[in-house]
Amino acid sequence: MDEVTQPIATPEAAAPRNRRTAGGREAKRAARSARSGHSVPYITRKIPYYEVLDEEGLSIIEHNADTILEEIGIDFRDDPEALDIWRKAGADVKGERVRMPRGMCRALVQATAPREFIQHARNPANNVVIGGKNTVFAPAYGSPFVRDLDHGRRYATIADFQNFVKLAYTANSIHHSGGTICEPVDLPVNKRHFDMVYAHMKCSDKPYMGSVTHPSRAHDTVEMSKALFGDSFIDPLTGKPKTVCISLINANSPMTFDDTMLGAAKVYARANQATIITPFILAGAMSPVTVAGTCAQTLAEALAGMAFVQLVNPGAPVVLGSFASSVSMQSGAPTFGTPEPALVLYVMAALARRVGVPFRSGGGLCGSKIADAQAASEAANTMLPTCLGGVNLCCTPRAGWKVVCPWATKSSSWTATRPA
């Protein structure tokens, strides 16, 4: 038989392993605790913006956007008050179609809309400045499905919603509590907004977003915010309500605002709460397939929405939003991580700076159904333009139809997903 060689005993081998030395559990726990104490309420960029168009290119898109507003117009549907507001402002109103004289919307926005503003949080240390050279990261928005390792893909519940709010609260890289992080379908539609807004108020002390699914729900959000902030809701210096809530107002692209979004926008504007006017565009389905055409349409819709808010309450904070991607010309499915949406983001960020308002977009978008290599690659390709282009408010980590939440869960992999 072959001789079995015995291992040579050494002092290192003989010494028992000390689990409390560097690299052990206690050291890692101490490192996590140290990191938790070093957070900032938002990021201030110190690098130049990445520009893809020169002055001539941006001017052409602005000219085309004004042409859309002047010659084609925007539909303001099922809201006679909105049409009357535009009529009194001097716009050409025929039926529900509103055509604005060239330069009218831009002039209204630039005259009164703030270039940046403070959104106040329940904890003043978490106040965020939206606009300028600041970037605020917020969680995902609008996912009806969640996925975890225990139960796979399923509809979200209010318990999931509360857990996501808590996770966003504990994440130093997330500066904002967000809004509809996921859709809790276990609650009635006409009442769930109470539980959702309350979860942001109770489970976090970061800034939050309000409900926009009905004007009455926007009103409920404002009233709940008044109760939360109490006497501090009114700014003693201006006598106006502080901006404590920001909410997403989507254009029903192409070139339409419906009564739901208009009603919510009016409620928030009159209460001096911020609104994000965001055309939701999938190029090739809701806009021209070209980058330049999509940018012109996005700017026209956003200018119309922001100008409307300024007509309702001059000085109310507004954010120019852009959510633009493309669809597969074969299947019609949305695609992410492709070059075209990145170009749209760069251009829209530059156009927002020229208007003089903050800019909102997404980041970390992907078309994958699970957290895999495709999700990682596409998410990186959409987060890079967000950072380089100068987005002021970014709803992330998100992935359009899939929202990857790497800051973990009980199953160490928990995501919120939207249907493809």
Tell me if 52 is assigned to some domain: yes
Q: How far is CA 361 from the centre of its chain?
A: 6
CB-count burial class (<10 Å; 0-12, 13-18, 19+) for 166: middle
321-343 burial, b for 16+ CB within 10 Å, e for fewer? bbbbbbbeeeeeebbbbbebbbb
- Report DSSP letters for 69-132, one per residue: IIII-EEETT-HHHHHHHHHHT-EEETTEEE--TTHHHHHHHHHS-SEEEEP-SSGGG-EEEET
Alpha-carbon gap, residue 208 to 247, rounded angstroms: 9
Report the share of the chain in percent with pLDDT over 70: 87
Report which of 179, 183, 173, 130 is spatially closest to residue 383, judged by C-alpha positions: 173
Model confidence band, residue 38 (pLDDT cutoffs 50, 70, 90): low
The helix-helix angle for 259-270 and 80-89 (nearest 10°) equals: 60
pLDDT digits (tens, 9 = 90+) for 309-325: 999 999 999 999 998 88
403 pLDDT higher than 90: no
Tell me if 256 is assigned to some domain: yes
CB-count burial class (<10 Å; 0-12, 13-18, 19+) for 18: exposed
Task: Tell me the average pLDDT of the chain.
Answer: 88
pLDDT digits (tens, 9 = 90+) for 94-142: 999 999 999 999 999 999 999 999 999 999 999 999 999 999 999 988 8
410 pLDDT higher than 50: no
Tell me the backbone φ, ψ of residue 298, rounded to 5 degrees.
Answer: -60, -45
Tell me if 176 is assigned to some domain: yes
**Range with the poorest average pLDDT among 18-32, 254-268, 299-313:** 18-32
Tell me if 4 is assigned to some domain: no
Number of domains composing the chain? 1
Please give the C-alpha separations between residue 16 and each of 6, 11, 58, in angstroms, as whole numbers: 19, 10, 68
pLDDT digits (tens, 9 = 90+) for 344-377: 999 999 999 999 999 999 888 887 878 889 988 9
Tell me if 142 is assigned to some domain: yes
CB 184 within 8 A of CB 146: no
Tell me if 10 is assigned to some domain: no
Please give the C-alpha separations between residue 81 and each of 210, 217, 257, 407, in angstroms, as whole numbers: 23, 19, 13, 45
Q: Where are the alpha helices (DSSP H) in 121-254?
A: 158-170, 192-203, 215-229
Tell me if 225 is assigned to some domain: yes
170 pLDDT higher than 70: yes
Range 191-206 average pLDDT? 97
Rg (CA), the chain: 24
Amino acid type, 319: V
Could you list the residue range(s) of the whole structural domain that residue 85 is in?
Answer: 44-417
Alpha-carbon gap, residue 97 to 74, rounded angstroms: 6
For 9, the token pair is: 């005993």
CB 352 within 8 A of CB 65: no
Q: pTM score > 0.75 for this model?
A: yes
Tell me if 242 is assigned to some domain: yes
Range 204-214 average pLDDT? 97
What is the CATH number for 220?
3.20.20.480
**Residue whose token pair is 């002021």:** 392
pLDDT digits (tens, 9 = 90+) for 228-258: 999 999 999 999 999 999 999 999 999 999 9
Contacts of 66 (CB under 8 A, 6+ apart): 102, 103, 106, 300
